[in-house]
C-alpha cells in the first residue's frame, strides 16, 4: 500500500490538512474533532508545555502573554527595527532577533524562533493525519501565499523539516484553490482566485484548459488580511474607553486580548446580521494588585464597520486592478471568481468583488478548506505521477542583478512563467578589476535600496585589463517552486562560480538539530497519549456500530430486501474487522474501519 500523502494549508489564522481517498479530496479532522486548527501556539506558564490550536486559544483567555498567533507574517523575515514597529500595530507580543538575524517571538518568558512556531503547528497537523491513517505520515505538499519570496518559502520548508515532514513541493495558495475547484467541477476558462486570509491577500488569474493550469498573473498585499479588519474594530473600541482608563487598557495585554476577541466575534456576527452588541468588562491594568478596571457597552452596525474598513477595501481593489492590468485582461472577461479565505464570507468583500468583476463570485467552495483540498489533490498527483493536472505557475517577484549607479537590471520580470532560465552579460565596474561581486536582488524597483538583496556571487582571479575585455555572463535559473540558482561565468577564461544565496537568516545548525529532536520527542510522547484516546474512541464507535447493525437487522426482518440485507452484512463485516484489528493492535486497520464506520453512521461522504 502506498504511503499516505497530505496537503497542508499553513494559514495565518487557521490551518488545515487534507488527503485524497478513493479519488476524492477530504479534510482530515483534528484529534479534537474540528476541521480547522487555529494557528495559535502557547506555552503553559509553569511547565512551559506546548499547546496548539483551540487549547492555545483557551490558554490565551487567562494568560495572553503565553500565546502567539499570526506569526506567519514574520516567517522568513529579517529582524529589523522597521519590522518591530510594523508588528506593534497588529500583535501584542514582542519580537526579538536571533543570532543570525532571524525573527523570534516572546511568550511565557521564553524566546522562540518563528520557524519553530510554524513547526509546532505543522507537527500538530502531522499528528492529526497519523491518527486519521493509523500510521506514520511524512510526505506532504504545503501551500504558501503567492507573494512569498524565496526566504519565506525556504523558512516554511525548514519548519516542515523540524516537524518531521518531507515537503514534496510548495505551491501557491491561489493555485491550490483553483486546482481544487477546477478538478471537482471540470471548469475551463479564466478563473480569478480572490484569496483574503487572516494575514495576507493574494489575487491570481489562471487559464484552465484540459487539465492545464496556467497562471497569467498574480499579485497581492503581504500585510493585508482579516487581522487588519479586526484591528480597525479594536481601534474603534479603544477610542470608546473613558479617558481615565484608555492608556491603561492600551498597555495591558489581557485587556487588548479581550478587545481582539470581541472584535473578531463582532466581525463574524456582522456577516449575518446588520448590527451586533459588544459588552466587555475587566478592562484596565491587570498587572497591579489594586486593579483599576472598567467596562464597555456599545453597538456596531455593518454599515459603520464597512466605513471603518474603507481604506482596507481600497487596498483590495488596488491589487485587483494591478493584477488585471498585468494579465492584460478586462475584469469583466473573467469567467468565474473563486473566493478563498475566511474574510471572503464578509458581505463587504463579496460586494466589492461583484462590483469590480461585474459578476457574483462562486460560493460553492468552502473558502476555509479550498486551499488544503487543492494541496491534497496536488500531493496525490505527485505521489501517483498521474499527470492529471499541469501547473504552469509564475514568478511572484522580479529578480535581477545590481549594477552601477545603485540600480537593478531585472533578468526575470515578475509574472514570468516558471520554470525559467535567463542570461545576460555584464562587465566589471572598473578597468583592471581582479574580483567581481555580483549582487542579486528581488523586487520591482529599479533602485537597489528599494529591493531585497538575496545574496551575491563572487568571481575572483579576473584577468582582463579593461572592462570590455572581461565579459561576465550571469545565469538565473528558477525552479517550479521558486528556488533560485545563480551562476556567473567569465566568458574569457571560463571561470565559473555559483551563488550561495543567503536569502534569509537560517537557524544555526546546532539549534535546528535541537529543535528537530525536541519535536520528535514531543511527537512520540503525544502519539502514545493519542493512541490510548483513539482506542477508547474506537471502542465507543464499535458500540454505536452494533446499535446500527441491530437497527439494520430489524429493518431487514420487517421489510426484507436485497439492499437491507447488503447494508446489514456490510456493517457486520466492518464490525468483525474492527474487533479483529483491535485485538491485534493494528492501528492502521482500526483507523480504516473507523473512517468507514463514521461515514455510515453520519451519512456523509466527505
Neighbour-count burial of 436, counting CB atoms closer than 10 A to its CB (0-12 exposed, 13-18 middle, 19+ buried): buried
Q: Is 195 a catalytic residue?
A: yes
Distance linking the first and last C-alpha atoms of the chain:
22
What count of residues does the chain have? 606
Neighbours of 63 (CB within 10 A): 18
Rg (CA), the chain: 27
Spatial distance between the Cα atoms of 285 and 291, rounded to a whole number of angstroms:
6
- Residue 222 exposure: Cα atoms within 13 Å on the Cβ side: 19
The CA–CA distances, whole Å, from 397 to 99, 148, 412, 519 equal 28, 9, 9, 33
Contact between residue 48 and residue 55 where contact means Cβ atoms under 8 Å apart: no
Among candidate residues 102, 124, 150, 173, the one labeled active-site is 173
Spatial distance between the Cα atoms of 515 and 482, rounded to a whole number of angstroms:
26
- The DSSP bridge partners found for residue 110 are 107
> Residues 401, 402, 403, 408: what is their CA dihedral angle, to the nearest 10 degrees?
80
Place of cell 529582524: 79
Among candidate residues 65, 72, 126, 381, the one labeled active-site is 72
Contact between residue 376 and residue 19 where contact means Cβ atoms under 8 Å apart: yes
Q: Is 173 a catalytic residue?
A: yes
Place of cell 475551463: 188
Spatial distance between the Cα atoms of 441 and 484, rounded to a whole number of angstroms:
11
What angle is formed at CA 418 by the lines to CA 342 and CA 442, rounded to 5 degrees? Answer: 80
C-alpha cell at 296: 464597555
In what helix (H) or strand (E) does residue 557 lie, and over which residues does it extend? helix 509-558
C-alpha cell at 581: 484489528
Map residue 23 onto helix, strand or coil. coil
Among candidate residues 65, 128, 130, 195, the one labeled active-site is 195
Spatial distance between the Cα atoms of 236 and 580, rounded to a whole number of angstroms:
60
C-alpha cell at 422: 535567463
Among candidate residues 9, 102, 202, 456, the one labeled active-site is 9
The CA–CA distances, whole Å, from 289 to 242, 247, 285, 286, 517 equal 21, 18, 9, 8, 41
- In 3D space, the residue among 568, 452, 587, 571 whose CA is nearest the CA of residue 530 turns out to be 587
- List residues with catalytic annotation: 9, 72, 173, 195
Amino acid at each position: 500500500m502506498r504511503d499516505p500523502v497530505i496537503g497542508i494549508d499553513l494559514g495565518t489564522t487557521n490551518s488545515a490538512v487534507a488527503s485524497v481517498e478513493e479519488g476524492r479530496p477530504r479534510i482530515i479532522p483534528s484529534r479534537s474533532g474540528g476541521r480547522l486548527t487555529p494557528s495559535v501556539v502557547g506555552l503553559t506558564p509553569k511547565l512551559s508545555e506546548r499547546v496548539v490550536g483551540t487549547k492555545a486559544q483557551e490558554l490565551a483567555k487567562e494568560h495572553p502573554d503565553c500565546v502567539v498567533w499570526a506569526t506567519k507574517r514574520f516567517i522568513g523575515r529579517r529582524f529589523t527595527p522597521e519590522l518591530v514597529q510594523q508588528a506593534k500595530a497588529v500583535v501584542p507580543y514582542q519580537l526579538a532577533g536571533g543570532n543570525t538575524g532571524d525573527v523570534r517571538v516572546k511568550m511565557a518568558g521564553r524566546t522562540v524562533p518563528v520557524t519553530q512556531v510554524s513547526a509546532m503547528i505543522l507537527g500538530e497537523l502531522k499528528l492529526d493525519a497519523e491518527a486519521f491513517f493509523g500510521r506514520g505520515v511524512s510526505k506532504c505538499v504545503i501551500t504558501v501565499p503567492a507573494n512569498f519570496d524565496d526566504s519565506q518559502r525556504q523558512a516554511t520548508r525548514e519548519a516542515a523539516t523540524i516537524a518531521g515532514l518531507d515537503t514534496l513541493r510548495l505551491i501557491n495558495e491561489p493555485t491550490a484553490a483553483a486546482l481544487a475547484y477546477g478538478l471537482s467541477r471540470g471548469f475551463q476558462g479564466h478563473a480569478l482566485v480572490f484569496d483574503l486570509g487572516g494575514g495576507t491577500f493574494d489575487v491570481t488569474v489562471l487559464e484552465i484548459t484540459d487539465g492545464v493550469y496556467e497562471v497569467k498573473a498574480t499579485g497581492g498585499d503581504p500585510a493585508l488580511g482579516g487581522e487588519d479588519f479586526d484591528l480597525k474594530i479594536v481601534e474603534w473600541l479603544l477610542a470608546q474607553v473613558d479617558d481615565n482608563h484608555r492608556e491603561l487598557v492600551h498597555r495591558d495585554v489581557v485587556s487588548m486580548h479581550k478587545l481582539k476577541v470581541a472584535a473578531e466575534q463582532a466581525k463574524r456576527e456582522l456577516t449575518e446580521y446588520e448590527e451586533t452588541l459588544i459588552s466587555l468588562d475587566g478592562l484596565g491594568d491587570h498587572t497591579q494588585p489594586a486593579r483599576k478596571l472598567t467596562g464597555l457597552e456599545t453597538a456596531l452596525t455593518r454599515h459603520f464597520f464597512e466605513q471603518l474598513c474603507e481604506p482596507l477595501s481600497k487596498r483590495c481593489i488596488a491589487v485587483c486592478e494591478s493584477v488585471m492590468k498585468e494579465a492584460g485582461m478586462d475584469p469583466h472577461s473573467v469567467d468565474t471568481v473563486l473566493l478563498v479565505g475566511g474574510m471572503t464570507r464578509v458581505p463587504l468583500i463579496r460586494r466589492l468583488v461583484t462590483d469590480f468583476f461585474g459578476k457574483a463570485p462562486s460560493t460553492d467552495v468552502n473558502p476555509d478548506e479550498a486551499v488544503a483540498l487543492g494541496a491534497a489533490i496536488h500531493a496525490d498527483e505527485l505521489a501517483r505521477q498521474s499527470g492529471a493536472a499541469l501547473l504552469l505557475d509564475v514568478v511572484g517577484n522580479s529578480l535581477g542583478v545590481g549594477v552601477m549607479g545603485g540600480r537593478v537590471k531585472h533578468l526575470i520580470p515578475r509574472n514570468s512563467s516558471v520554470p525559467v532560465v535567463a542570461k545576460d552579460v555584464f562587465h566589471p565596474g572598473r578597468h583592471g578589476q581582479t574580483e567581481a561581486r555580483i549582487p542579486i536582488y528581488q523586487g520591482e524597483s529599479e533602485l537597489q535600496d528599494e529591493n531585497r538583496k538575496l545574496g551575491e556571487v563572487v568571481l575572483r582571479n579576473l584577468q582582463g585589463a579593461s572592462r570590455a575585455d572581461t565579459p561576465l555572463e550571469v545565469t538565473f535559473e528558477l525552479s517550479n517552486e521558486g528556488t533560485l540558482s545563480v551562476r556567473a561565468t567569465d566568458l574569457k577564461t571560463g571561470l565559473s562560480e555559483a551563488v550561495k544565496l543567503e536569502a534569509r537568516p537560517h537557524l544555526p545548525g546546532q539549534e535546528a538539530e535541537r529543535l528537530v529532536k525536541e519535536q520528535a520527542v514531543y511527537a512520540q510522547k503525544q502519539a502514545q497519549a493519542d493512541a490510548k484516546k483513539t482506542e477508547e474512541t474506537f471502542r465507543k464507535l464499535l458500540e454505536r456500530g452494533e446499535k446500527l447493525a441491530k437497527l439494520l437487522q430489524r429493518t431487514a426482518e420487517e421489510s426484507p430486501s436485497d439492499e437491507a440485507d447488503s447494508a446489514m452484512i456490510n456493517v457486520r463485516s466492518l464490525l468483525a474487522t474492527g474487533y479483529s484489528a483491535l485485538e491485534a493492535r493494528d492501528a492502521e486497520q482500526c483507523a480504516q474501519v473507523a473512517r468507514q464506520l463514521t461515514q455510515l453512521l453520519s451519512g456523509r461522504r466527505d
